[in-house]
Amino acid sequence: MSNRFSDVASLKDELAGVDYLSDDGIAGVVYLADRLEKPILVEGPAGTGKTQLAKSVSEITGSRLIRLQCYEGLDEAKALYEWNYKKQLLRIQAESGSEEWDDISEDIFSDEFLLTRPLLEAISADEPVVLLIDEVDRVELETEALLLEILSDYQVSIPELGTIKAKQIPLVFLTSNNTRELSEALKRRCLYLHVDYPDIEREKEIVLTKVPDITENLADQVARVVRSIRQIELKKHPSVSETLDWAKTLVLLGVEKIDEQTATQTINILLKYQSDINKALKELATADGVSP
């Protein structure tokens, strides 16, 4: 299969073209994952753009995005495949008495009765695919082992049908918010990428890119205030998407300079716990980025 990206620099530019502001480290790992045909394990705090990276790569490559949203209790039937039991039962009832059981069983365990889930769908697709396995740290060890098996050989063994091998190797992103430690085996299989909160200048650039009509001065204030808030010990730090929501709110309100009153009235856009809001307002009252 031909390579998706010519070099790291052009990949970085292509991501910027779809408003994903990558650095050399992020672009480099994505480039290597394509060349080495390895999954990428993207770890970091919630809301730092891990999921968006997969979506952006899907967009610039024109690949179909297939997403497996992980959750506690996710099993093989929801991740890989299951049989359409109702349809099988109808076929058995329709053919009852007219065919031998061996003929019926061979018929009902065919592609027509197979319900593909994200993992099997990504492997069996004819067209290029980006597979996003989101929040992999939320699944149990048994499901993690299933993921490891699939990603090791890019093939699925279905007892009734045999082995289904990948027609193309998907570009795979596994995201994790570090709610639990992943197995060493899964980590060994993947290239590792840590995506943290952006620094002030990069977050300012993100705000300028994503928020129409915002001034450079206001974007700079937003980035500095958010950076100050993230340095406080909170239940939940503001994500990049919440930074953007706050910036859009300030533009809609016609704010040109963030003062203490503006911060007090709008900080609920950034923070979602009252205890966090109280801590942040106390900190901002003496912060350089907020005028009294």
Rounded to whole angstroms, the Cα distance separating 147 from 100 reads 38
Rounded to whole angstroms, the Cα distance separating 232 from 157 reads 49
Question: Residue 162 has what pLDDT?
Answer: 81
Which amino acid appears at position 232 of this protein?
I
Fold (topology level) of 8-80+117-194: Rossmann fold (3.40.50)
Which amino acid appears at position 11 of this protein?
L
Condensed to tens digits (0 to 9), the pLDDT of residues 109-135 reads 667 778 889 999 999 999 999 999 999
Question: Residue 116 has what pLDDT?
Answer: 85
Neighbours of 265 (CB within 10 A): 12
Question: Residue 115 has what pLDDT?
Answer: 85
Q: Which residues contact 238 (CB under 8 A, 6 or more apart)?
A: 47, 226, 229, 230, 246, 270, 271
Question: Residue 288 has what pLDDT?
Answer: 52
Question: Residue 135 has what pLDDT?
Answer: 96
In the chain, which residue ranges form alpha helices assigned H by DSSP? 8-17, 24-36, 50-61, 76-79, 85-95, 101-108, 118-124, 141-153, 184-189, 200-210, 216-230, 240-252, 260-266, 274-284
Rounded to whole angstroms, the Cα distance separating 184 from 195 reads 19
Which has the closest alpha carbon to 208: 45, 198, 290, 261? 198
The residue extents of the domains of the chain are 8-80+117-194, 85-114, 200-284
Question: Residue 90 has what pLDDT?
Answer: 73
**For the chain (length 292 residues), average pLDDT per consecutive 10?**
87 96 95 96 93 97 96 90 77 63 61 85 93 95 89 85 88 94 93 95 95 95 95 94 96 94 94 95 72 52
201: its two tokens: 């200048």
Question: Residue 249 has what pLDDT?
Answer: 97
State pTM to two decimals: 0.85
